[in-house]
Amino acid sequence: MAKQENWSTVIRPHSGIFDIDFQEIWKYRDLLWLFVKRDITTVYKQTVLGPLWFIVRPVLTTLMFTFVFGKMAKVSTDGLPHIVFYLSGVTFWGYFSECLNKTSNTFTKNQGLFGKVYFPRIIVPGSIIFSTFIKFLIQVSIFLIVWSFYFSKGQVSPSWQIALFPVVICFMAMTSLGFGIIFSSLTTKYRDLRFLLGFGVQLWMYGTPVIYPLSAIPKEYVDIVKWNPIAPLIETMRAGFLGKGSFDWNMFVYSGIFAVVIMAIGIVIFSRVEKNFMDTV
Amino acid sequence: MSDTVIKVENLSKQYRLGLVGTGTLSHDLNRFWARVRGKEDPYSKIGDVNDRTTKTDSDYVWALKDINFEVKKGEVLGIIGKNGAGKSTLLKILSRVTTPTTGSVRMKGRVGSLLEVGTGFHPELTGRENVYLNGAILGMRKWEIDKKLDEIVDFSGVEKYLDTPVKRYSSGMKVRLGFAVAAHLEPEILIVDEVLAVGDSDFQTKCLGKMEDVSKNHGRTILFVSHNLPSITSLCSRALLVDRGVITLSGDTSTVIADYLIGNTRKNRYSNLDVKDNGILSCSVGTEGDVYTPVGLPTVVDISFKVEKSIKDFGLALIVTNENGSQLLSSEINDCLNIKDLNLEHGKVLNARVTIPSHFFNLKCYKFRISLGDNLSGSILDSAEFQVNYSYKMSNLIYKHRKKADLVPLFKWDLLD
């Protein structure tokens, strides 16, 4: 009678710390792509400019930064042309901040869906990382057009760090996913965090070399900014594309380790919350 | 060799009542501290039985308490119970939307759950795109949907609108499309909540037919929650009655439904002592406390009411509906008696009696409504409702073959030569 039966699903109240069924997530990969497709195709439905909106935002932001910080405040740009300097910062930071903002309300935004059907919840923030990446690629192409203009005039010169582009994007995606899902997990219970995140991302941008180069920071503060895991990534890309920027292997590796750790923490917290967030949200 | 596909053991679910507010953090900290010391959750012991009608002092409530049951392969299990009894919570746990507080559930095979039709439909996407999205949400792979797309479209009957955004669909069309996707999911275990209520009757019949087909011909297991008792009766072989978070009865569908109805309808009378000028004071069938009314005796309905002098022409009617709410009959006092010239005294209580012949209703539960109206203005002054349960008593007729009909009157039959 005591025969071992092979149950395919076992539902229990609590499980271990690291309880993620990667096999199951893999089974749902088609859903991930359908979510990506949905996010891309539906955002600008019934708009006149359509996908052009992907470009309008970074371009206008860059123009505004050029005016305020470049012309009025005269913040250093390491001698680089203003437009391409700000556009590079805005484009790369934009990917990070959008991923973070969007993944951070995974649970609150998808209550209706999550309350009615089960699928590995991580699919939703995962799909956000990819759909934002596709938008980011469009923005990068604009950046490259502007960049090639300055390149032809010889005002910017790429260097070998440009090869780190995919690695940088990976680190950014992991860091934002990690932070995003931690926030989304905690906001199911404590809504206070939603307000914190809103301006937190804004402030974080000013703590990152987006509108200024790392070299412009007074010596006594450099060490503080160095703890910011996104700072080395932006600087690496500046060094790679524009030829001027501080690149340091130690800092780069630090960013990578940070990305892995924060993502692991995020997944652990997320997998604990996903199981019964419906009761608290 | 066991062919049990679902095994639920000691399943309980606790919910917190009221707002999740200021107490949240302190409770969380207490819980955490208890866990650190290896103690039990300090809040899991308290908690009241789930009864939505009485107010409790405890902040926690057991939506489900020690649920145990098993389902065999190919079985269709109906789950019935009042609103708030815990049916949906049970289905939510089974479909993994939320976790139990204690206990466990084991299942064999792919589980498809239909707690809502068309979950995740995006209004801007077309019908076709939504079929893929919804299918994937329910756990289908893309190639599976590719293979079944034609069948799904055919079943839903919205082929013409397949490339129109879903936001332009009527709600019925959305339900059709949503159910069509779910019906072709082909899970080993299908969990269906009260979802078919929206579609038209044609489509409902089609859905029930489809569910019957997958269980009988494909050996799939279905858990079905519904307040529509006839569809439970026709579809399910076994049923569970859930009341206040516990299973009060499990067994043969007709037995469980009968018990559920009795529990619901102990009141075979109505009374209202606050009537001032116009209104029904009381109506009743049989004696108080009787659960069943014998089918073999005439049914006598006694009504006490008051009518104001200014109302020259009042009417009194008896309307009987079946358990699904369809009207079966209506009978009026005016057709039988002339009450126009009745001398009405102010405040006087009038009594009326309706007699329904014996062997008229079936062995079922009926809703009786008495309504008092003003025939001149056509307005209803008051109405009263109560329920009557018929049982096989004082009768020598055979009811075996009369399961379905609501009315089984004893007409006059003659054999002519």
> Which CATH architecture does the domain made up of B4-110+187-262 adopt?
3-Layer(aba) Sandwich (3.40)
- The pLDDT value recorded for residue B402 is 65
Q: How far apart are CA B195 and CA B198, in angstroms?
A: 7
Under an 8 A CB cutoff, do A28 and B122 touch? Answer: no
Domain extent listing, chain B: 4-110+187-262, 269-391
Largest CA distance in chain B: 92
Reported as type and span, the H/E element at residue B389 is strand B380-391
- Asked if A30 and B141 touch (Cβ cutoff 8 Å), the reply is yes
DSSP structural state of residue A49: S
- The pLDDT value recorded for residue A1 is 37
Under an 8 A CB cutoff, do B125 and A42 touch? Answer: yes
Q: Which residues contact B197 (CB under 8 A, 6 or more apart)?
A: B228
Summarised one tens digit per residue, pLDDT across range B62-72 is 888 888 999 98
- The pLDDT value recorded for residue A257 is 96
pLDDT band of B229, cuts 50, 70, 90: confident
Q: How far is CA A160 from CA A47, A70, A164, A240, A243, in A?
A: 40, 27, 8, 6, 9
Under an 8 A CB cutoff, do B108 and A189 touch? Answer: no
Q: Chain A residues contacting B, CB < 8 Å? A: 3, 5-14, 27-28, 30-31, 34-35, 37-38, 41-42, 45-46, 112-119, 189-190, 275-276, 278-280
Residue B49 pairs in a beta bridge with: B62
SS3 B407: strand
> Is pLDDT of B188 > 80?
yes
Domain extent listing, chain A: 50-279
> Is pLDDT of B193 > 80?
yes
Residues of B in contact with A23 (CB under 8 A): none
Distance from CA of A63 to the nearest CA of B (A): 33
Q: How far apart are CA A185 and CA A266, in angstroms?
A: 9
- Asked if A125 and A180 touch (Cβ cutoff 8 Å), the reply is yes
What's the ipTM?
Answer: 0.84
Q: Do domains B4-110+187-262 and B269-391 have the same CATH topology?
A: no
- Average pLDDT of chain B? 82
> Is pLDDT of A182 > 90?
yes
Residues of A in contact with B15 (CB under 8 A): 279
Residues of B in contact with A46 (CB under 8 A): 124
Summarised one tens digit per residue, pLDDT across range B73-125 is 888 999 988 888 888 889 888 988 888 888 889 988 888 888 887 788 888 88
Q: What is the CATH number of domain B269-391?
A: 2.70.50.60
Residues of B in contact with A276 (CB under 8 A): 98-99
